[in-house]
Amino acid sequence: TTPCWLRGSDDITATCKRLLGISFGETTPDGEFTLGEVECLGACVNAPMIKINDDYYEDLDPASLEAVINQIKRGEKPRFGSQTSRKGAAPANGLTSLTSEHFKPTMLPAIKLLKRKQKKT
């Protein structure tokens, strides 16, 4: 999808194909890897990413993907999630909004008013 593509999914695809020696829909001769392509895995903010079994490997670049695949080939369990220092879906370069110590939501009075109107009907 667009977020993954804009963040380099073509490079991730090429790296997978090169490291595994297979294309989409194929399985490695040892039966350990099958390469598939899906429309979306729903982790756009951490794109590009791949899913291996039940684990997501996110914020990938060719080097980090190669490290993940090589660890699996050695029988190791790579760290899943973001392959950068990012925590969850936080911005990779730090916060850019909602940075004040005392954030005051300005919509709170409107939300309370809406709730009062709903109770009357």
Indicate the residue type of 23.
S
DSSP, collapsed to helix, strand or coil, labels residue 74 as: coil
Rounded CA separation 41/80 (Å) = 15
DSSP, collapsed to helix, strand or coil, labels residue 21 as: coil
pTM of the model: 0.73
Residue 1 confidence class, pLDDT cut points 50, 70, 90: confident
Give the start-to-end residue ranges of the domains of the chain.
Answer: 2-91
In the 8-state DSSP scheme, what is residue 34? B
pLDDT in tens, 26-37: 999 999 999 999
pLDDT in tens, 97-119: 766 666 555 555 655 555 555 55
Q: According to CATH, what is the number of the domain 2-91?
A: 3.40.30.10
